A and B are shown apart, each in its own frame.
Chain A
Amino acid sequence: MSENIERRRFLKGIGAASLIMGPMGCTSVKEDSNNANKPHYVMVFDQNKCTGCGECKQACNAANNLPEGVSKCLMEHQSGGVEGQACPHCGKEECNCERKFVRVSCQQCKNAPCVTVCPTGAAHKDPETGIVTMDDSKCAGCKYCIGACPYNARFINENTDVADNCDFCLTSKLAKGELPACVQQCKYDALVFGDSNDPNSYVNKLLAVKDSVRMKPQFGTEPSLRYIPVVKLGV
């Protein structure tokens, strides 16, 4: 008998809880539909097409007036021979390793740790585009964002003494309606940029047919930079 009563009370509790929890769940659905019209800019790096020419980096430095020796993006040479250099994979001057490069730059995270930890709100998401960028006039140079970034993709800009990151040329090229400088410069179509919330955009179509990965997915930062890796079976 008593078991039955317990069960009835339990069911009542479930009913009451669902009445309370139900509407709470609905609020997040509403939020999502509000965001649907906002752009989500993504960049795709295709490792199959990148030759490591480095012109993207030069274009970036020119577009963003960066001081000597400082970059917002780097090319990491991972394997394969380049004249006069040892292969980073096997260590030999001449080898048959495939040439592989990878882009190192701000991953434009959806859950950006730098934005969360920044004490002044200098590292923030541009309200229009959702791109992670800097308000130089607020940055105190505490370097919290640099320590918090799981990708080590932030740095101190020696011209301004404040932190900086790749922001898809938000204030330089995008403001004029152009593509980011690196994307414009790439001769091999290894970089693609666009709005993934736009069903007709080229990035959207590309990501639909290509397998792409995000860097260090275990951090749950949800980067907007996607990578199409060289994948060969049986190696």
Chain B
Amino acid sequence: MDGSMEFTMGLSEGVAWPWPIAVYLFLAGISGGALVVALAIRFFKGQTANTPLYKAAALISFVTISLGMLCLVLDLTNPLFFWRILVFYNFTSVMSLGVIALCAYIPLTAVLCLYAFEDEIKAIPALSILLPVIKLLKPIRRPLEILTLILAVSVCAYTGFLISALIRFPLINTAVLPALFIASGVSAGAAASKMVSVLVFKEDIHSSELKLLHGAEWPIMIAEILFIVMIAMSLATGNEGAQSAFAAFTSGVWANLFWVGVVGVGFLGPILVNFFTGKTFSHSAKAFYLSGVCVISGMMCLRLFILYAGQTYAI
């Protein structure tokens, strides 16, 4: 008898979470990813100085997560109600856990900026008010950085858990999504901090740090591709609802976004630029920026695809 009756209408129209949420997922991924790579390299190499990569990552993470928060607040039906999320908590809700993580993470990204730009702050008299704060925080720099690294991974992962809890959407409701969001966040965060460190903080394109990052990017990209294949295969071989959601990959405007934006620009773009052009071009600054922009745009397309195609192909 079950299933002998069904309704197809709903009380709300369109997607519940529109593009500002995709932009937020994108910005939060870059923010967490940038800090993950910068802090991992810092610990791995035992660095104590403020390297260009560290400065770039600290700046990017603070700016992107702040802009992300703006997206989140503006997407509320009434942005003036945002304080309610900060006052009331529900520990079964991924969003509530995310708010707790962000409440610690956002101030910590600001603190990391203070550490990273200590010399610059000293040089500007107007900012001298910050110097006692830096002095106060300096003895606990290492523990704070470790905490930030943990929270950066959590922020990347939480954005995945946040939407994978939506059981109505087979494309979104998958266990692999948080892992995919960590991997794509790390690759886009790495690309963003690489570019800013070269462009703003005059890092050498062929420095040992960036070489390490160049090498790490390909395994991360392979992991990303693998996660996407896992999601696609579980839909293609799943139950009726999952199989109908597989159409997200094969037809419609979101399939185009996936194949052109995610696969074409995000994955094939950097591969072509780095392996199928002459050595002089692939080692040039042009190729460096081009493949970085490709990775970041691909990641934005991935978030848009997951959010929109996911909500479109509901059960």
Residues of A within 8 A of B (CB): 47, 71-72, 74, 76, 102-105, 113, 116-122, 138-144, 146-156, 161-162, 211, 213-219, 227, 229, 231
Alpha-carbon distance between A142 and B2 when the two chains are bound, in angstroms: 33
11 contacts between A and B (CB under 8 A): A72-B11, A117-B165, A119-B90, A122-B84, A139-B81, A140-B76, A147-B16, A148-B168, A152-B11, A153-B10, A154-B12
A sample of 19 more A-B contacts (CB under 8 A), given A122-B88, A140-B85, is A47-B5, A105-B11, A113-B165, A119-B85, A119-B88, A119-B99, A120-B88, A142-B85, A144-B16, A152-B11, A153-B10, A154-B11, A154-B12, A161-B81, A213-B4, A216-B6, A217-B2, A218-B241, A219-B167
Q: Please classify the interface of chain A as helix (H, G, I), strand (E, B), loop, or mixed, using the class held by over half of its residues.
A: loop
* A118 to B92 Cα, complex, angstroms: 8
| B contact residues, total (Cβ < 8 Å) | 43
Do the beta carbons of A119 and B95 come within 8 Å of each other? yes
Tell which of A102, A116, A119 has the most Cβ of chain B within 10 Å: A119
Q: How far is the CA of A142 from the CA of B10 in the complex (A)?
A: 18
Q: Are B77 and A120 in contact (CB under 8 A)?
A: no
Q: Do the beta carbons of A141 and B81 come within 8 Å of each other?
A: yes
Which residues does B use to contact A, with CB under 8 Å?
1-12, 16-17, 75-78, 81-82, 84-85, 87-90, 92-96, 99, 163, 165-169, 239, 241, 311, 314-315
A57 → chain B closest CB, angstroms: 12
Instruction: State which of B3, B92, B169 has its C-beta within 8 Å of the C-beta of A116.
Output: B92
Q: Bound complex: CA of A101 vs CA of B16, how far in Å?
A: 26
Instruction: Please give the distance in Å from A121's CB to the nearest CB on chain B.
Output: 4
- What residues of B have a CB within 8 angstroms of the CB of A71 in the complex? 11
The docked-state distance in angstroms from the alpha carbon of A138 to that of B84 is: 6
